[in-house]
Structure 1
Amino acid sequence: MIEQTVTLAGARLTARGSGALWWAERRLICVADLHLGKSERIARRGGALLPPYETRETIARLAAEIAALDPATVLCLGDSFDDMASADALPEADRAALAALARGRDWIWLAGNHDPAPHGLDGGRAETLALGPLTFRHAALPEAEPGEISGHYHPKLRVALRTGTLSRPCFLCDRRRLILPAFGAYTGGLDLGSSPALAALIEPDARAILTGAPCVTLPAFRASA
């Protein structure tokens, strides 16, 4: 199984094994935390020299989802770039690839804490976006109305199995909100079992939908190791 269905505020959504969220009624695909240019940012700040391929890999994964679903709208939930200088330093080939993906559809970049300012790439920009019963933003608000969809936290779930420990990025959802996993190739994750921030946001009976294959739904907190 490569996807799971979620209903939030009456909207029927599909959590994909890739980490993308699909709203078929609106033909909208939503991804969070691409963190394009992360290896360039680390090198620029004197860190480890990582192979500079994560941007290309992330764009390729996004292109595969767009090819599979043919969305009318692509919505990026902030932290699409690892910092504002990463957006400026985006190689021309990657810039052209994003422009090609945006052609013929609406592309919306939401502001994140890593990329709060406009970056000049094709598409519109907003702080938050309200569509029907849903509100999209980068980081969840503690007192948000039901129907909030966000990213920011890079949630992952660690589960103890007989054969060892399974750890995967995951969607995190309860009756009020849905938090997406990070879509970027070099992004880490925040373990549900050791995150007071997530525990404070999400109801105790929340569910985690694991990315990858199989894409399965588990209790978010009781399953954490």
Structure 2
Amino acid sequence: MNGYDFTFAGARLTALGSGALWWRERRLLCVSDLHLGKSERIARRGGTPLPPYEVADTLDRLSADLERTAPETVICLGDSFDDAEAARALPEPARLRIATLQAGLRWVWIEGNHDPGPVNIGGTHLRELTLGPLLFRHIAQDGAEGEISGHYHPKAALRLRGRSLSRPAFLLDQDRIVMPAYGTYTGGLRSDAPVLARLMRPGALAIVTGPSPVAVPMPR
């Protein structure tokens, strides 16, 4: 399993190359910002059409992570759906696929700003969730400790073979983790954006995703 192991708030965690977070002790897999149905939402609002494959691609990658880790609990850390209508408009094969992935698992949908209300798609819908030393919520809050959040879709630059590549990244300091977006069409915010530079403490790391995740000083 390709990943970067680290300790946060006393919990031993692994940042997977896919952008998922694995907590082996609790058999817990966390993903953030799937934004399922984004292509449908853009088309519905008259935007430039996108190929309608992002739901299947995102679920394929999630299925692979579930197979690798065999979790007991899955937390989707908000903005799992691009909006409430996108959740309702999911095609039946996608809904059945999600139900199959959920089978036998404790599945938690954390409330996001795109999907603030519960969806009729199985699992449990919560505003936030505390497990042991860790607090799972969608948007980081001031004064938090042991917080794991998403929302900002952070990305960081990494130099490989003389080239600079920007990839989704986990941001990590002693108080919080900001998760990368997991969804196929989500885009990202560079870690040197003012909102992220203010949010993360000096000395924060960026764990850059990909085939071999690597931790670098968070670019500012």
Q: Residue type matched to 1:11 in 2?
A: A
Partner of 1:207: 205
Q: Could you say which residue in structure 2 is the equivalent of 1:197? A: 195
Specify the alignment match of 1:158 in structure 2: 157
Partner Cα separation in structure 1 for residue 56 and residue 14 of structure 2 = 25
Aligned-pair CA distance for 1:164: 2.5
> What corresponds to 1:29 in structure 2?
29
- Tell me, in whole angstroms, the C-alpha distance in 2 between the residues paired with 1:212 and 1:114: 26
**TM alignment of 1:1-225, pairs within 5 A:** 2-144=2-144, 146-160=145-159, 163-193=162-192, 195-221=193-219
Describe the SS at the equivalent of 2:58: helix
Which segments of 5 or more consecutive residues in structure 2 lack a partner in the other structure? none
Q: TM-score, normalised by structure 1?
A: 0.95
Q: Which amino acid aligns with 1:87?
A: A
Deviation of 1:163 after TM superposition, in Å, equals: 2.8
Q: TM-score if structure 2 supplies the norm length?
A: 0.97
Per-residue CA deviations over 1:181-212 (Å, capped at 9, x if unaligned) read 0000011000012x111111101100011111
Alignment: residue pair count: 220
Identity of paired residues, percent? 57
- What amino acid sits opposite 1:34 in the alignment? L
Question: Which residue type is aligned with residue 129 of structure 1?
Answer: L
Deviation at 1:215, TM superposition (A): 0.8
Deviations 1:36-82 (A, max 9, x none): 00000000000111110001100010000001111000100000000
Quote the RMSD (CA, aligned, Å): 1.1
Does structure 1 conserve the Cα–Cα contact (< 8 Å) formed by 2:34 and 2:181?
yes
Amino acid of the structure 2 residue aligned with 1:190: L
Query: 1:156-192: per-residue Cα shift (whole Å, max 9, x none)?
Result: 0024556322110000000111111000001100001
